[in-house]
Amino acid sequence: MSDSIPVCPLPFPAGDRVLLGHGSGGRLSASLVRDVFLHAFHNPILAQLDDQAVIGVNGARLAFTTDSYVVKPLFFPGGDIGSLAVHGTVNDLAMGGARPLFLSAAFILEEGLPMETLCRVVESLRRAAADAGVQVVTGDTKVVEKGSGDGLFITTSGIGLVPDGVCLSASQARPGDRVILSGTIGDHGIAILAQREGLQFDSIVESDSAPLHTLVEAMLAAGSGIRCMRDPTRGGVSSALNEIAAQSGVGVEIDERAIPLRDDVKGACELLGLDPLYVANEGKLLAIVAPEDAENVRDAMRRHPLGAHAAVIGTITETHPTVVTMRTTVGPMRVVDMLTGDQLPRIC
């Protein structure tokens, strides 16, 4: 054995350039938002760090949000970049309890993109908007040189109206509240990854991409005890719960056995060395609900097609503030940390 001094690398300066991990929805994304964007644009509305800003205008409360879509491949089982650009933005509005009304759509196109591809995406976006009952009322188009884009990027912004009496925010979770999940996790991320990596499974895993605002309406009608909602997109359930824990200054305790997970998604995660808690969803929501309303809200969700597998998966606690823990299938508790960067595949 070597008797030399312990070897370990010298630290090298991190953070001197943007890495892919800064877009993963985990800890690196959070630090980018905090250190660069919040620092520059600081104001009380932005500081709420909710999925949407809620702004009072002449007595009405408007929800306002924006999101960019850079998904690869452009078409995947269960959706495409066009439908996703509607669902994602509609859902960001819905998580504030808002009724989505109007969207903008900005397209960045790469020189050489087949016109047929663009038309398919635009038609899909049109249909998704019509199905969700929102209108695309303004837009923009830019074309960049070949090699400067990845075919097609879309940015949509959305405006919705928040009904009187509805006030949801990730800072409102209280000890004793229940954590409700609207259905199976990881479907979108695995659908994309399977397509990208050319993985074959017995059945095709479809993305869960869907507009959630009618589910939210049904939930709001079922109980007044809803404190906040989040759609666990990039960074998955883990990031969404960690954000709620941090913003409310509470602990979160979930039960691994209560989390709905499709067998094929579970199998794909095992194969790829991924933890489904970190895999993206595009048609699911997490709700923090007062204990007395939790059953009502869950039952209302189960009556809606997008909430058929809704389940109470955990509780808000006073202990371990800002930390999310999970009771594992074999019994003991473990920490559910935020993802550092991209979830890197393990090698064996």
> Binding residues for other proteins, per CB under 8 A?
1-2, 4-12, 14, 17-21, 27-28, 31, 197, 263, 266-267, 270, 272-273, 320, 323, 325, 328-335, 337, 340-341, 344-348
Name, in order, each residue with C-beta under 8 angstroms of 260's C-beta and a sequence gap of 6 or more. Answer: 181, 183, 184, 185, 309, 311
Using the minimum distance from each CB to other proteins, give the nearer residue, 295 or 337.
337
Distance CA 207, CA 186 (A): 9
**Nearest to 214, CA basis, from 84, 98, 62, 293:** 98
Closer by beta carbon to other proteins, 266 or else 309: 266
Give the residue with the Cβ less far from other proteins, 57 or 330: 330
Nearer to other proteins, 17 or 39 (CB): 17
Closest separation in Å from C-beta 202 to other proteins: 12
Burial of 66 (0-12, 13-18, 19+ CB in 10 A): middle
CB of 193 to other proteins, least distance (A): 11
**Minimum CB separation from other proteins for residue 54, in Å?**
32
Please, which residue, 167 or 272, has the CB nearer to other proteins?
A: 272
The rounded distance, in Å, linking the Cα atoms of 62 and 336 is 34
CB nearer other proteins, residue 65 or residue 238: 238
Residue whose CB is less far from other proteins, 4 or 200: 4
Is the Cβ–Cβ distance between 254 and 179 less than 8 Å?
yes
Q: Cβ closer to other proteins: 6 or 59?
A: 6
Given a contact cutoff of 8 angstroms between Cβ atoms, the answer to whether 279 and 207 are in contact is no
* Min CB(281)–other proteins separation in Å: 20
Quick one: 175 or 341, whose CB is closer to other proteins? 341
Query: Is 274:192 a contact under the CB 8 Å cutoff?
Result: no
Classify each residue of 111-139 as buried b or exposed e, where b means 16 or more C-beta atoms within 10 Å of its C-beta. Answer: eebeeebbebbeebbeebbeebebebeee
Can you tell me the distance from the alpha carbon of 32 to that of 35, in angstroms, rounded to the nearest whole number?
5
Work out the angle at residue 208's Cα, subtended by the Cα atoms of residues 168 and 205, and round it to the nearest 5 degrees.
155
DSSP letter for 33, please. Answer: I
Inter-residue contact 318 to 244 (CB < 8 Å): no
Least separation, in Å, of the C-beta of 343 and other proteins?
9
Minimal distance, residue 319 CB to other proteins, in Å:
10
Give me the least distance between CB of 317 and other proteins, in Å please.
12
Q: How far is the CB of 211 from other proteins (least distance, A)?
A: 30
- CA dist 39 and 46 (Å) reads 11
**Nearest one of 199, 204, 217, 194 to 285, comparing CA atoms:** 217
Minimum Å gap between C-beta 279 and other proteins is: 15
